[in-house]
Structure 1
Amino acid sequence: MDVSVSAIEAERLRMEVISSNIANINTTRSLNGGPYRRLSVSLYEKNISFSDALNLAEKRLNGVGAKIVEDTTPFKKVYKPSHPDADKDGFVETPNVDLASEMVDLTEASRGYEAQITAYNATKKMIQDLIQLP
């Protein structure tokens, strides 16, 4: 069940990050002074300690971890000479967020979340049925 829970948390984090990207798609000035930089979620395998691996009675998988990372692709430049953030040539750096890609990622994360909830519920039911055996 730990694997399913960690995957559910990772998919929830992905949906939150994607929502933030979509909300900031037109933000040309963030707290660090430049345009909003797209964020993504990087998944990694949670490490299990050697002592836990040796303990056969407590043998289990630890699941997946997730961390937020910045997308380093360059910002888009748009010609808007009247914009307050325009450079001397009239170009404004805009966030490196593509709405179509974000919507695809959001759909994928949402479906992954639903799949993990289904897997969690199936595992929970199997455990409950096992407990109720005569």
Structure 2
Amino acid sequence: MTEFSNALSVLSSGMRGQGQRLRHIAENVANADTPGYRRKTITFRETVEDGRRSGAIEASPVQLKKGELPRIHDPSHPMADAQGYHDGSNVELVTEMADAREAQRSYEANLKMFEQVRRMSAELFDVLKR
């Protein structure tokens, strides 16, 4: 039965990770027009237990996209400098939508596998009861 619980643990970590990724994507989309906002991303790494790779993942701390922010000319903006420019956001909505679709599909794949493992373990219990 430990194989089933290990599989469920690995799959649930994948769902947690993709859920976290979707939350950051939603924040990026919500702040796409916020002056000075930097895109948030996370990466995943496999966890190690007792010196062995577990198959489960954990998210890295949030990383902000580095680089120059686009300069926007809008003299009427309250954050504009003497020349009428202010820093924009480095969020690209097309990239966020593609990342959201990928995260959603990864979440759904983990969920389907989770349901399959759960069904298999329930069927195994039924066989063992006989």
Same structural fold, with TM-score higher than 0.5 when normalized by the shorter chain:
yes
CA distance in 1, matches of 2:103, 2:110: 10
Per-residue deviation, 1:62: 4.7
Spell out the pairing of 1:5-84 with structure 2 (5 A cutoff).
5-28=12-35, 35-50=36-51, 53=52, 61-67=54-60, 68-84=62-78
Contact 2:46–2:54 under 8 Å retained in 1: no
Residue type at the aligned position of 1:127: S
Task: Tell me the alpha carbon deviations over residues 37-87 of structure 1, each in whole angstroms, 9 at most, x when there is no partner.
Answer: 11011111112123xx5xxxxxx8350001321111321111112211112
Name stretches of at least 5 consecutive residues in structure 1 with no aligned partner.
29-34, 54-59
Could you tell me which residue of structure 2 aligns to residue 114 of structure 1?
108
Superposed CA RMSD:
1.5
Per-residue deviation, 1:88: 2.1
Q: 4+ residue runs of structure 1 moved beyond 4 angstroms? A: none
Per-residue deviation, 1:92: 1.3
TM-score (norm 2): 0.85
Residue type at the aligned position of 2:11: S
Residue type at the aligned position of 1:113: Y
TM-score (norm 1): 0.83
Residue type at the aligned position of 2:21: R
CA distance in 2, matches of 1:6, 1:74: 34
CA distance in 2, matches of 1:106, 1:46: 24
CA distance in 1, matches of 2:59, 2:67: 21
Counterpart secondary structure, 2:43: strand
Per-residue deviation, 1:123: 0.8
Task: Tell me the alpha carbon deviations over residues 1-44 of structure 1, each in whole angstroms, 9 at most, x when there is no partner.
Answer: 1110000000000110000000011111xxxxxx1111011111
Task: Tell me the alpha carbon deviations over residues 81-126 of structure 1, each in whole angstroms, 9 at most, x when there is no partner.
Answer: 2211112222111111001110111111111111110010011111
